[in-house]
């Protein structure tokens, strides 16, 4: 069933992991997809995969931490795609370290990508959403934004702030038919978890009632629900997809 037929979705961080899974899930559901990545190779690869599913796709290379570049990219997207219906702010980085040793540069890098990037893209498309009286904003937060984590003060702060930003957007834009929601993934099999050794993985799994790490497709399914007709009356919410880890 083409739940997203005739819609255009913008997915940041679409080059790999969760972002790639969301881009492909949306394409399979009938959407045309703008694949945003910081690296041209990743953006092009994701766009090629979307086209392989029979949908239109655009590869956009931009560092979401650069507000000026984001604004210019959004203008080009609206011209080339004609419209945008769904925005998924997924791009994110980690720069882990204990608080006492964390540099200002590592703090700023994480905040600028994970939080400012979502702000910049949402602001860039808000006017178009308001004009068409329709839009779906989905921000990818994290369970770490709900419970914190030692050695990730910057990441936890950015993901917690993203939830507050989401709720503010929901209240500010809701009267025009625009929803804004967050997804808080638990520990998902991505490049970020691939570096863990077996002992660390076992420790993680023991914290999860379902006794397994999640897959990027699990987050993509949640995003499809929020972007599709089933999410019409859902806004300002945090959908936690974590195997029961946070409850």
Q: Which CATH number does the domain housing residue 171 bear?
A: 3.40.50.720
Which residue range forms the structural domain that includes residue 129? 8-241
246 assigned to some structural domain? no
- 1 falls within a domain: no
* Tokens coding 127: 């006017």
In a domain, 237, yes or no: yes
Residue 3 belongs to some domain of the structure: no
- Please give the DSSP secondary-structure letter assigned to residue 9: E
Residue 208 domain-assigned (yes or no): yes
Residue 196's pLDDT band (boundaries 50, 70, 90)?
confident
Q: How confident is the model at residue 193, as a pLDDT?
A: 77
Residue 78 lies in a domain: yes
Average pLDDT over all residues of the chain? 96
Model pTM score: 0.96
Largest CA distance in the chain: 52
- Kindly provide the b/e burial profile for residues 86-117, where b requires at least 16 CB atoms within 10 angstroms of the residue's own CB: bbbbbbbbbbeeeeeebeeebbebbbbbbbbb
195 pLDDT more than 90: no
Q: Is residue 2 in a domain?
A: no
Active-site residue numbers?
155
Can you read off the two tokens belonging to residue 4?
């997203």
Q: Which percentage of the chain shows pLDDT scores above 70?
A: 99
Q: Is the pLDDT at 197 greater than 90, yes or no?
A: no
- Per the structure block, which two tokens stand in for 79? 């011209």
Quick one: pLDDT at residue 67?
98
The number of helix segments (H) and strand segments (E) in the chain equals: 10, 7
Over residues 99-135, the pLDDT tens digits come to: 999 999 999 999 999 999 999 999 999 999 999 999 9
Q: In what order do the strands lie in the sheet with 86-89?
A: 57-61, 32-37, 8-12, 86-89, 135-140, 178-185, 238-241
The answer as to whether 247 is a domain residue is no
Residue bearing the bigger pLDDT, 247 or 7: 7
* Domain count for the chain: 1
Contacts 24+ apart (CB under 8 A), 91-98: 91/12, 91/13, 91/19, 91/36, 91/37, 91/38, 91/64, 91/117, 92/13, 92/140, 92/158, 92/159, 94/152, 94/155, 94/192, 95/154, 95/155, 96/151, 96/152, 96/155, 97/151, 98/150, 98/151
């Amino acid at each position: 069933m083409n739940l997203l037929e005739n819609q255009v979705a913008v997915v940041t961080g679409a080059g790999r992991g969760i972002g790639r899974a969301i881009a492909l899930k949306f394409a399979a559901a009938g959407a045309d997809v703008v694949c945003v990545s910081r690296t041209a190779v990743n953006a092009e690869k994701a766009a090629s995969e979307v086209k392989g599913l029979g949908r239109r796709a655009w590869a956009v290379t931009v560092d979401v931490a650069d507000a000026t570049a984001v604004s210019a990219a959004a203008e080009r997207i609206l011209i080339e795609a004609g419209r945008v219906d769904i925005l998924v702010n997924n791009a994110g980085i980690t720069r882990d370290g204990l608080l006492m040793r964390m540099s200002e540069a590592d703090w700023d890098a994480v905040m600028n990508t994970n939080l400012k990037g979502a702000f910049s893209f949402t602001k860039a498309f808000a006017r178009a959403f308001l004009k068409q009286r329709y839009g779906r904003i989905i921000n990818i937060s994290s369970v770490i934004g709900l419970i914190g984590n030692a050695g990730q003060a910057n990441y936890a702060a950015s993901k917690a702030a993203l939830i507050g930003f989401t709720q503010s957007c929901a209240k500010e834009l809701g009267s025009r038919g625009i929803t804004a929601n967050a997804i808080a993934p638990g520990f998902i099999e991505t490049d970020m978890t691939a570096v863990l050794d077996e002992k660390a993985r076992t420790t993680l799994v023991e914290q999860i009632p379902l006794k397994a790490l999640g897959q990027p497709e699990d987050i993509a399914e949640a995003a499809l629900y929020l972007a599709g007709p089933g999410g019409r009356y859902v806004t300002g919410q945090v959908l936690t997809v974590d195997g029961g880890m946070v409850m």
